[in-house]
Structure 1
Amino acid sequence: MTDLSRASSKSIPVNEISNPSVLAFERKIDPSDAIFTSGSGEPIILREKAVRGTISNRIKKEKDADPAKLDAAIESPNLQTVDVATLPVDGKGADTLEVTFNVRVIGNVGDPCACNEPNYRNRLRSVVDEYAARDGFRTLGLRYAENLANARALWRNRLSAQSIETTVKFLQDGKTAKAWTFDSFSLHLNEAGLSKNRDVIELGEVIAGALAGKSLVFLEVVSRAQMAPGLEVFPSQELIMERTRNGKSRTLYAVETKSGPVAALHSQKVGNALRTVDTWYPGSDGMPIAAEMYGAVTTMSKAFRQPRQKRDFYNLLDGWMLKNKVPSEGDQHYVMACIIRGGVFGSAE
Structure 2
Amino acid sequence: MAKKNDVIPSVLAFEKKLVASDGFLYGTSWEERLEKSSTKPVKLIEKSVRGTISNRLKPALQSDPLKLNAEVEKPNLQTVDNCALPEHLDTLKLTFTLKVLGGVDKPSASNGDGFNKVFPDVVRQYTEKSGFIELANRYALNIANARYLWRNRVGAEKIEVHVRADGKQWKFNAREFSLRDFHQTNSEVQELATLISSALSGKMPFLLLEVEAFALVGKAQEVYPSEELVLDKGKGQKSKILYHVNDTAAMHSQKIGNAIRTIDTWYPSYAENDRLPIAVEPYGAVTNLGKAFRSPKDKADFYSLFDRFALGEPLASQDEEHYVMAVLVRGGVFGKSSDKEKD
Common topology (TM > 0.5): yes
The alignment-based identity, stated in percent, is 46
- Alignment check: 8 A CA contact 1:84 1:252 kept: yes
Distance 1:311 1:133 in 2: 25
Q: Which amino acid aligns with 1:85?
A: C
Q: Name the TM-score, length of structure 1 as normaliser.
A: 0.90
The equivalent residue for 1:199 is: 188
- Alignment check: 8 A CA contact 1:15 1:322 kept: no
- Alignment check: 8 A CA contact 2:122 2:312 kept: no
- Alignment check: 8 A CA contact 1:316 1:327 kept: no
The equivalent residue for 2:134 is: 139
Does residue 165 (structure 1) correspond to residue 173 (structure 2)? The answer is no
Does residue 231 (structure 1) correspond to residue 221 (structure 2)? The answer is yes
The equivalent residue for 2:33 is: none
2:310 equivalent among 298, 311, 321: 321
Q: Name the TM-score, length of structure 2 as normaliser.
A: 0.91
- Alignment check: 8 A CA contact 1:295 1:312 kept: yes
The equivalent residue for 2:3 is: 15
The equivalent residue for 1:6 is: none
Structure 2, unaligned runs of 5 or more: 29-37
The equivalent residue for 1:250 is: 240
* Deviates most, 58-67 or 75-84: 58-67
After superposing on structure 2, the runs of 4+ consecutive aligned residues of structure 1 that deviate more than 6 Å are none
Does residue 280 (structure 1) correspond to residue 269 (structure 2)? The answer is no
Alignment of 1:59-208 (within 5 A): 59-90=57-88, 94-171=89-166, 177-192=167-182, 194-208=183-197
Distance 1:302 1:160 in 2: 27
Q: Tell me the alpha carbon deviations over residues 203-254 of structure 1, each in whole angstroms, 9 at most, x when there is no partner.
A: 0111001001151000000000001111110011101212221210100011
Q: Aligned-pair distance for 1:65?
A: 3.5
- Alignment check: 8 A CA contact 2:43 2:83 kept: yes
Q: Aligned-pair distance for 1:297?
A: 1.1
Q: Tell me the alpha carbon deviations over residues 14-41 of structure 1, each in whole angstroms, 9 at most, x when there is no partner.
A: 3384221111111101100110001232
Distance 1:77 1:163 in 2: 40
Number of aligned positions between the proteins? 324
- Alignment check: 8 A CA contact 2:230 2:239 kept: no
Q: Secondary structure at the match of 2:41?
A: coil
Q: Aligned-pair distance for 1:84?
A: 0.6
- Alignment check: 8 A CA contact 1:52 1:80 kept: yes
The equivalent residue for 1:270 is: 256
Structure 1, unaligned runs of 5 or more: 1-12, 172-176
Q: Tell me the alpha carbon deviations over residues 33-85 of structure 1, each in whole angstroms, 9 at most, x when there is no partner.
A: 11000123200011100000001112232344411112112221110000011
Q: Secondary structure at the match of 1:81?
A: strand
Distance 1:144 1:218 in 2: 14
Q: Secondary structure at the match of 2:48?
A: strand
- Alignment check: 8 A CA contact 2:119 2:311 kept: no
- Alignment check: 8 A CA contact 1:191 1:287 kept: no
Distance 2:312 2:153 in 1: 44
